[in-house]
Amino acid sequence: MSSQFHADYFFDLSSFAHSALFKDTEFVWEVFARFERYFKTQTLGNIEVDIPPGVTLENKELISIGKGTTLEAGAFIRGPCVIGPHNSIRHGAYIRGNVITGAKCVIGHATEVKDAIFLDGAHAAHLSYVGNSILGKEVNLGAGVKCANLKFDDSAVSVKVDGQKISTGLRKLGAIIGDGSELGCNSVTNPGTLIGKGVFWYPGINFGGFVPHQSIVRSQTEVSVLPQQQART
């Protein structure tokens, strides 16, 4: 089996508070099936910050929020959910449950997150959708990035690396994004996209599949700016 399916290919988990979630996984996406069991091992309902007016907590007894995290009015959080210390949950953030974040993460305005993991320092600050996905350490999603997680035909999502095509058995799988990668504004990752560490993904790119470490993802299409008279001839 290709090493590019292992969690260690994408993430340095040595300092991540929830590294146990990945222990003994063969395929990185196996963590999603472990959510229910893992949440039962956590001290849920432990909210270590003041909740300001205008923040909605649904299933509050299933939500934990670490020290130093700021919550802005208009944020919605549904449990089960573990939000780490010193996070920023901004106005209009929509956290739909089964979400785990490390330290110093950002979930911003009009960003929807469900069934997802944010490692330390991961940012989805503006107008993004992060479903059934994992953002590695210091990953940054530009405004409007969407991690699509469902195929048109509703069949199980497959991933392909080095000529190997493996069905994940999952109806929904978004993107696995390695440490330090950055995705430009208004990009879309197709279901089952695997992105290595340190990848630069240009704005506006719609792409899926496997992207190795330290790659650049960009379109070869050229955009021309011409005088109107020349463009009409």
- Average model confidence (pLDDT) across the chain: 95
DSSP string, the chain: --GGGSHHHH---TT-TTGGGGTT-SSGGGGGGGHHHHHTTS-TT-B-S---TT-EEESGGGEEE-TT-EE-TT-EEESSEEE-TT-EE-TT-EE-SSEEE-SS-EEEET-EEEEEEE-TT-EEEES-EEEEEEE-TT-EEPTT-EE--B-TT-PPPEEEETTEEEE---SB--EEE-TT-EE-TT-EEPTTEEE-TT-EE-TT-EE-SEE-TT-EE----------HHHHT-
Residue among 86, 91, 126, 213 flagged as catalytic: 126
Q: Which pLDDT does position 23 carry in this prediction?
A: 96
* Confidence band for 231, pLDDT divided at 50, 70 and 90: low
All structural domains of the chain with their residue ranges: 3-231
| Residue pLDDT, tens place only, 62-101 | 999 999 999 999 999 999 999 999 999 999 999 999 999 9
Gap between the Cα atoms of 217 and 226, Å rounded: 27
| Residue pLDDT, tens place only, 130-158 | 999 999 999 999 999 999 999 999 999 99
Q: Which CATH superfamily includes the segment(s) 3-231?
A: Hexapeptide repeat proteins (2.160.10.10)
Please state whether the predicted TM-score (pTM) of the whole model is above 0.85.
Answer: yes
Q: Which pLDDT does position 232 carry in this prediction?
A: 62
109 is catalytic: no
